[in-house]
């Protein structure tokens, strides 16, 4: 336990600054509900079997997901999609998957395949996910090949209808037809005159076939609509959720099965390897401006009564920025980004990951090339979590297992500090503070710290004390050594290890938060 005089000591000698935080004791009815799978996963399709397992489950990946289930009672949702998975073919004689790869490069050490063919076992591997997992799968729009789409849909349905899936309650929540069609011209999949109306025709033709092949009328599976890369990346006009919903698509037969719109978001693109890029990523203002660019789309979606998700997202596009996406500071970015998204009507964020990608929350198999530059490693790197995995852990504990937790962002007058309060049955339970100020290994001045003066608003019982768990980071550019409440997940099996810290605090005395730190408090 931290004694009050120690808090005072920290305040007098370490805190260079203070900020007021007023926390409502009660959540209003319209405060956003955050589900246990708010932070979900999108898996690069080519090496999906490396994540899940092929004939038996990948214990490392399973444990990493199940750690979250232990907090929330809900498995993260899983989307298998992204670049490389759109032009996929199906071969009933193939057991698992056949990928053809180009050469790795310094910038892309683990490239996407140039071709990919799958068999039934590819889809059946979803049975190795934690019980209750909801799955989204993408089918091929690039090739405009009805046979491919038909066979894939049939195989997916066959897999999910098998006893192992029923027993584990693993369900096919959504199908998506095509991935980022607004980049088809850029990738050379379509000629330069490709446009939104041609896309709509193609989608409707192929999705009609999927609707029948997957018997959507007789199942709970629905479509994600859109699946666009987003306005920051494309030269094509019209590929927005608002425009899609205005096109009348929802009144077409396949369109009537769209119940959620998915768009993709990456903060930017950076191949410099320069750790100072963390200053751009860990920015309270950038996180908000990047997300609020989607507000018109979210409003248009919600106005039609549909759900809105970021079906693919992460820090920097094309597998992440070296020394940045894989750094500890990115965990604070991911935490704040996910919660900030929840405040503007985004119900789930699927964090993209692929084998050897820099921005992964975890690396589920042994790697033999460096994720930073593709150079062969002297010693193979066994499966391990990366710092951003802690964002998932902290969120899971903050959301908890109530099934109806509400999260409310707190107004904090500080350019780097954000805060969120968590409610169950409208009553305040927990709070999370995130100090995004980068503390880099190159910094020569002392680490800053801010004292948060806590107070409550509203009339209800005010808690006087709380327990504390800190997300402790050495430097923002560290790539390991992060702990939460004194415990680590950097273990051979992704299971938690180490003795928990036992810090408590008094509301009347507030709490300190260092640069590049998150502080989670549970009120007593
Ligand atoms: C926070 O509380 C301290 C000690 O009570 C006080 O000195 C400081 O001015 C307060 N900060 C703000 C922003 O009110
Ligand atoms: C199945 O996975 C194991 C373990 O990763 C691997 O050694 C094996 O080659 C895979 N089998 C097939 C047929 O892909
Ligand atoms: C269409 O898809 C089927 C099944 O995936 C594949 O066998 C066939 O080669 C594809 N046709 C073309 C023209 O790509
Ligand atoms: C199956 O999982 C869903 C969540 O995906 C859950 O809502 C439902 O209660 C579960 N059903 C059973 C029978 O466990
Ligand atoms: C879907 O496409 C397949 C392959 O071309 C075809 O056999 C099937 O009849 C189509 N189904 C519908 C409902 O159009
Ligand atoms: C946009 O157009 C420019 C100029 O034609 C081209 O260089 C660039 O690759 C295009 N970007 C995308 C994403 O299509
Ligand atoms: C879209 O492309 C098609 C085929 O090239 C063309 O007929 C149509 O006029 C274009 N639509 C718009 C709005 O540009
Ligand atoms: C996110 O914000 C940064 C800073 O304003 C900007 O440079 C970047 O282009 C934005 N990203 C997107 C996808 O809009
Ligand atoms: C990443 O950081 C390491 C260690 O500081 C450095 O050697 C490497 O050049 C950086 N990576 C890139 C791609 O710049
Ligand atoms: C990294 O970026 C900073 C800030 O833009 C710059 O001052 C520095 O020279 C860069 N370092 C390298 C190795 O490019």
169 lines ligand 4 (CB under 6 A): yes
19 lines ligand 1 (CB under 6 A): yes
CATH topology of domain 6-31+403-523: Immunoglobulin-like (2.60.40)
15 — phi, psi (to 5°)?
A: -75, 125
The number of beta carbons lying within 10 Å of the beta carbon of residue 76 is 25
Which ligand is nearest the CA of 453, by number?
Answer: 1
Element (H, E) at 284: helix 284-292
Beta pairing partners, 384? 363
Instruction: Give residue limits of the domains in the chain.
Output: 6-31+403-523, 35-191+220-399
Beta pairing partners, 19? 452
Q: What is the pTM of this model?
A: 0.96
The token duo for 213 is 């092949």
Q: What is the residue with the minimal CA distance to atom 11 of ligand 10?
A: 274
Q: What is the residue with the minimal CA distance to atom 12 of ligand 3?
A: 145
322 lines ligand 9 (CB under 6 A): yes
pLDDT in tens, 91-147: 999 999 999 999 999 999 999 999 999 999 999 999 999 999 999 999 999 999 999
CATH topology of domain 35-191+220-399: TIM Barrel (3.20.20)
R_g over Cα of the chain = 23
Report the nearest atom of ligand 6 relative to the CA of 186. 14
Spatial separation of the C-alpha atoms in residues 62 and 75, rounded to whole Å: 10
The share of the chain scoring above pLDDT 70, in percent, equals 97
Q: Over 60: is that where the pLDDT of 12 sits?
A: no
462 lines ligand 1 (CB under 6 A): no
Ligand 2 centre distance from Cα of residue 244 (Å): 41
pLDDT in tens, 343-386: 999 999 999 999 999 999 999 999 999 999 999 999 999 999 99
Please enumerate in sequence order all residues whose Cβ is within 8 A of that of 414, keeping only pairs 6 or more positions apart, or say none. 17, 19, 450
Question: Which of 271, 272, 276, 442 for mutating ligand 10's site (highest number of atoms within 8 Å of CB)?
Answer: 276
151 lines ligand 3 (CB under 6 A): yes
Closest CA to 347 of 394, 393, 399: 399
In this prediction, residue 507 carries a pLDDT of 98
Ligand 7 centre distance from Cα of residue 208 (Å): 22
In this prediction, residue 83 carries a pLDDT of 87
On the 0-12 / 13-18 / 19+ scale of CB atoms within 10 A, 299 is middle
Ligand 3 centre distance from Cα of residue 95 (Å): 17
In Å, what is the CA distance from 210 to each residue of 30, 92, 181? 36, 18, 18
Q: What is the residue with the minimal CA distance to atom 3 of ligand 3?
A: 148
Spatial separation of the C-alpha atoms in residues 339 and 329, rounded to whole Å: 16
Strand ranges in 112-152 using DSSP code E only, listed in sequence order: 113-118, 134-139
186 lines ligand 6 (CB under 6 A): yes
Report the nearest atom of ligand 8 relative to the CA of 232. 13
Ligand 3 centre distance from Cα of residue 199 (Å): 20
Ligand 6 centre distance from Cα of residue 234 (Å): 7
Residue 429: pLDDT band by 50, 70, 90 thresholds? Answer: very high
Spatial separation of the C-alpha atoms in residues 366 and 176, rounded to whole Å: 30
- Region 80-91: mean pLDDT is 91
Question: Which of 165, 169, 174 for mutating ligand 4's site (highest number of atoms within 8 Å of CB)?
Answer: 169
Residue 24: pLDDT band by 50, 70, 90 thresholds? Answer: very high
In this prediction, residue 4 carries a pLDDT of 44
Q: Which residues of 91-125 are buried (b: 16+ CB within 10 A; e: fewer)?
A: eeeeebbbbeeeebeeebbbbbbeebbbbbbbbbb
The number of beta carbons lying within 10 Å of the beta carbon of residue 318 is 16
Report the nearest atom of ligand 8 relative to the CA of 265. 13
In this prediction, residue 115 carries a pLDDT of 94
DSSP annotation of 372: T
Q: Over 80: is that where the pLDDT of 16 sits?
A: no
In this prediction, residue 1 carries a pLDDT of 37
- Taking CB atoms and a 6 Å cutoff, what residues make up the pocket around ligand 7? 193, 195, 197-198
Q: Over 80: is that where the pLDDT of 13 sits?
A: no
Ligand 10 centre distance from Cα of residue 479 (Å): 19
Which ligand is nearest the CA of 268, by number?
Answer: 8
- Region 193-216: mean pLDDT is 98
The number of beta carbons lying within 10 Å of the beta carbon of residue 394 is 26
Residue 86: pLDDT band by 50, 70, 90 thresholds? Answer: confident
On the 0-12 / 13-18 / 19+ scale of CB atoms within 10 A, 254 is buried
Q: According to DSSP H, which parts of 117-265 are helical?
A: 120-124, 146-160, 163-168, 196-213, 241-246
Ligand 4 centre distance from Cα of residue 127 (Å): 15
pLDDT in tens, 390-419: 999 999 999 999 999 999 999 999 999 999
Longest C-alpha distance within the chain, in Å?
Answer: 72
Ligand 2 centre distance from Cα of residue 328 (Å): 32
Q: What is the residue with the minimal CA distance to atom 5 of ligand 6?
A: 235
Ligand 9 centre distance from Cα of residue 334 (Å): 22
188 lines ligand 6 (CB under 6 A): no
Ligand 2 centre distance from Cα of residue 55 (Å): 8
Q: Over 70: is that where the pLDDT of 64 sits?
A: yes
Spatial separation of the C-alpha atoms in residues 139 and 87, rounded to whole Å: 8
On the 0-12 / 13-18 / 19+ scale of CB atoms within 10 A, 281 is buried
Which ligand is nearest the CA of 180, by number?
Answer: 6
The token duo for 86 is 């759109």
Which ligand is nearest the CA of 314, by number?
Answer: 8
Report the nearest atom of ligand 1 relative to the CA of 451. 1
238 lines ligand 9 (CB under 6 A): no
The number of beta carbons lying within 10 Å of the beta carbon of residue 382 is 11
């Amino acid at each position: 336990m931290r004694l009050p005089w120690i808090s005072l000591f920290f305040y007098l000698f370490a805190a260079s600054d203070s900020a007021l935080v007023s926390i409502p004791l009660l959540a209003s009815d319209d405060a956003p509900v955050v589900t246990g799978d708010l932070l979900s996963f999108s898996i690069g399709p080519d090496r999906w079997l490396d994540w899940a397992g092929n004939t038996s489950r990948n214990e490392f990946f399973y444990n990493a997901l199940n750690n979250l289930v232990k907090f929330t009672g809900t498995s993260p949702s899983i989307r298998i999609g992204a670049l490389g998975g759109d032009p996929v073919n199906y071969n009933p004689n193939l057991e698992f998957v056949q990928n053809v790869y180009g050469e790795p490069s310094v910038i892309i050490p683990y490239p996407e395949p140039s071709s990919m063919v799958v068999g039934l076992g590819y889809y059946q591997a979803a049975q190795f996910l934690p019980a209750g997992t909801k799955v989204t799968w993408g089918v091929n729009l690039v090739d405009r090949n009805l046979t491919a789409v038909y066979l894939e849909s049939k195989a997916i349905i066959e897999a999910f209808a098998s006893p192992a899936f029923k027993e584990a309650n693993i369900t096919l929540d959504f199908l998506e037809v095509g991935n980022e069609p607004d980049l088809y011209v850029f990738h050379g999949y379509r000629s330069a005159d490709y446009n939104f109306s041609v896309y709509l025709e193609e989608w409707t033709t192929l999705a009609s076939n999927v609707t029948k092949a997957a018997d959507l009328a007789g199942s709970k599976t629905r479509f994600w609509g859109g699946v666009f890369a987003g306005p920051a990346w494309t030269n094509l006009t019209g590929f927005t959720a608002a425009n899609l919903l205005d096109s009348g698509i929802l009144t077409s037969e396949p369109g009537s099965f769209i119940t959620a719109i998915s768009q993709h978001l990456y903060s930017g693109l950076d191949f410099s390897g320069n750790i100072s890029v963390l200053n751009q990523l860990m920015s309270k203002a950038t996180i908000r401006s990047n997300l609020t660019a989607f507000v018109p789309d979210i409003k248009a979606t919600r106005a039609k009564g549909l759900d809105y998700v970021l079906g693919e997202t992460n820090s920097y596009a094309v597998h992440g920025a070296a020394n940045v996406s894989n750094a500890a500071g990115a965990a604070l970015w991911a935490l704040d980004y996910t919660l900030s998204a929840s405040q503007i009507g985004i119900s789930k964020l699927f964090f993209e990951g692929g084998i050897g990608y820099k921005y992964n929350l975890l690396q589920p198999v042994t790697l033999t090339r460096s994720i930073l530059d593709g150079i062969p490693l002297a010693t193979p790197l066994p499966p391990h979590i990366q710092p951003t995995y802690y964002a998932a852990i902290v969120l899971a504990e903050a959301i908890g297992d109530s099934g109806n937790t509400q999260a409310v962002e707190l107004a904090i007058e500080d350019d780097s500090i954000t805060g969120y309060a968590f409610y169950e049955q409208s009553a305040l339970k927990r709070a999370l503070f995130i100090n995004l100020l980068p503390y880099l290994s190159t910094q020569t001045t002392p680490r800053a710290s801010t004292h948060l003066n806590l107070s409550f608003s509203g009339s209800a019982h005010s808690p006087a004390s709380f327990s504390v768990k800190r997300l402790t980071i050495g430097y923002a550019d560290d790539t390991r050594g992060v702990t939460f409440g004194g415990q680590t997940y950097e273990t051979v099996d992704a299971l938690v290890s180490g003795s928990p810290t036992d810090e408590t605090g008094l509301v009347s005395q507030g709490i300190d938060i260092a640069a590049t730190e998150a502080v989670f408090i549970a009120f007593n």
